Amino acid sequence: MPIIRIETFINTDQAKVFDLARNIDLHQVSTAHTNERAIAGKTSGLIELNESVTWEAKHFGIVQRLSSKITEMKSPDYFVDEMVFGAFKSFRHEHIFETQGTGTLMTDVFNYVSPLGVLGKLANVLFLNKYITDLLVHRNKILKEHAEQ
């Protein structure tokens, strides 16, 4: 199971970063390059514990749908979203927030299992791990820009 870990320092308070990270509208802004949009469940505003969202986006030239649910949350320290339905066999995305000096260290821990057994494992090595990492880094860059305004 691949694990992607990304740390992003954001020069603003922890509660603000926590709220921006779970804001569906900002998520759509940060993934505009994939035409990602919320189409079912919670489709706007701040997602909360036990709420779900279904996303539609274009990845690898194919329109895909993915549903995830917030399974854990302790404001403003962390929340976890897990895939309910989608292209992965499974994923768990931990969002962790820690005050550091004048700002917040936001850590993403993304664990996923690709479908298709050996072919999925090969895809992880060849392109999928980098693709997911790049998506998360880009999303965090946009979140950071909005948070530090």
131 Cβ contact list (under 8 Å, min separation 6): 59
Q: What percent of the chain has a predicted confidence (pLDDT) above 90?
A: 85
Q: How confident is the model at residue 134 (pLDDT cuts 50, 70, 90)?
A: very high
- Look at residue 26 in the predicted model and tell me its pLDDT: 98
Does domain 3-147 correspond to CATH entry 2.30.30.90? no
Kindly state the average pLDDT of the residues 97-105: 97
Q: At what angle do helices 129-147 and 14-21 cross, to 10 degrees?
A: 130
Confidence of residue 125 (pLDDT cuts 50, 70, 90): confident
Residue 27, Cα to own-chain centre: how many angstroms?
8
Q: What is the pLDDT of residue 43?
A: 98
Closest C-alpha among 74, 145, 137, 87 to residue 108? 137
Higher pLDDT, 121 or 2: 2
22-44 pLDDT, tens digit per residue, is: 999 999 999 999 999 999 999 99
Residue-wise DSSP of 66-127: EEEEEEEEETTTEEEEEEEESSSSEEEEEEEEEEETTEEEEEEEEEEE-SSHHHHHHHIIII
What pLDDT, on the 0 to 100 scale, is given for residue 143?
98
So what's the pLDDT on residue 133? 97
pLDDT recorded at residue 123: 74
Mean pLDDT of the chain: 95
Q: pTM of whole model > 0.85?
A: yes
